[in-house]
Structure 1
Amino acid sequence: MLRFDPFSDLDALTRGLLTSQTGSSRSPRFMPMDLCKIDDHYVLTADLPGVDPGSVDVNVDNGTLTISAHRTARSEESTQWLANERFFGSYRRQLSLGDGVDTAAISATYENGVLTVTIPVAEKAKPRKIEISHTGNQKSIQPTTVEAG
């Protein structure tokens, strides 16, 4: 009995597209990242171990945040590999940013193989208290006194 898996062809195609960039089956598969909101900003952390800090690029264009980096493979001809499992090549990740972020104030640091991108919430998107105004058309009510008598 043959089992039909409609996704196996899609998986094979995806693997082929991901590996064709460098011609190696060991090209990076993905850039693991976390994204959370802390107070009035978002914090994105991405794991990029062994990546040259000079190859890390973070930019914003038309509401899209793009992170790219490159890890170079060892090119020593005299190397005799006993295990060769680390990925090398180019990493790239894109995220769509909403209107509620301040793209001009985005900052990034790279330390110990971890890229941290801080994305502030725009002032216009921050929660605020709305002041309630009162109109001058209200009639004032005068207290009345009742005399006992």
Structure 2
Amino acid sequence: MARTFDPFRDMERLFEQRSTSQPGMNMDVYRSAEHFVAEIDLPGVDPSSIDIDIDDRTLTIRAERKSRASDDTQWLTRERATGTFARQLMLGRGIDAGRIEADYTDGVLTVTLPVAEESKPRKISVAHSGGQREISSEVVEEGDEG
């Protein structure tokens, strides 16, 4: 039985596993064209405290939110988490780790994970000439699968 090739299956499975909220780092993940995008809420975080590392296929995001209260503060309600937060994402093989980009705007960290060129869908054309077969490949643009 042939399996349908899906270069994004691993990424989607990862994001489904990571769909539970973690204190201080709520995240939305979606696919847009040839990128996966992770948007992570980090309100009140000093941008200089954000640290993103990649080791093999593990992307680690760390950030710190400091309390603005003084030592003599008497809390009435305290719902906003402070301290150092970390989140790890296991990336599928279909991501181009060398082209990952990140931007922090209005309290949201946006990490863009481009799909690797070799993982993009391709059409294989078969030509027949004089008993020899020639196989070539070309990248299929989205919406151009006809």
- TM-score normalized by the length of structure 2: 0.69
Alpha carbons 2:24, 2:41 under 8 Å: kept:
no
1:5-57 deviations in whole A, cap 9, x for unaligned?
A: xxxxxxxxxxxxxxxxxxxxxxx725110111111110000001101100111
Q: Which runs of 5+ in 2 are unaligned?
A: 1-21, 133-146
Output the CA distance in 2 between the equivalents of 1:81 and 1:137. Answer: 83
2:38 is matched with 44
Q: 1 or 2, which has the higher strand percentage?
A: 2
2:139 is equivalent to residue 110 of structure 1: no
Change (3 A) 1:98 1:31: same
2:115 to 115, 121, 132: 121
2:59 is equivalent to residue 69 of structure 1: no
Kindly report structure 1 stretches of 4+ aligned residues shifted beyond 4 Å: none
- TM-score normalized by the length of structure 1: 0.68
2:126 is equivalent to residue 132 of structure 1: yes
Change (3 A) 1:30 1:81: closer
**Which of 1 and 2 has greater Rg?**
1
Q: Which runs of 5+ in 1 are unaligned?
A: 1-27, 139-149
Deviation at 1:133, TM superposition (A): 1.8
1:98-120 deviations in whole A, cap 9, x for unaligned?
A: 11110000000000110000000
Deviates more, 1:77-86 or 1:103-112: 77-86
1:31 is matched with 25
Output the CA distance in 1 between the equivalents of 2:61 and 2:130. Answer: 56
Alpha carbon RMSD of aligned pairs, Å? 1.8
Deviates more, 1:42-51 or 1:77-86: 77-86
Query: What SS is found at the alignment partner of 1:42?
Result: strand
How many residues are paired up? 111
Amino acid aligned to 1:96:
M
Deviation at 1:75, TM superposition (A): 4.9
Amino acid aligned to 2:38:
L
- Percent identity over the alignment is 51
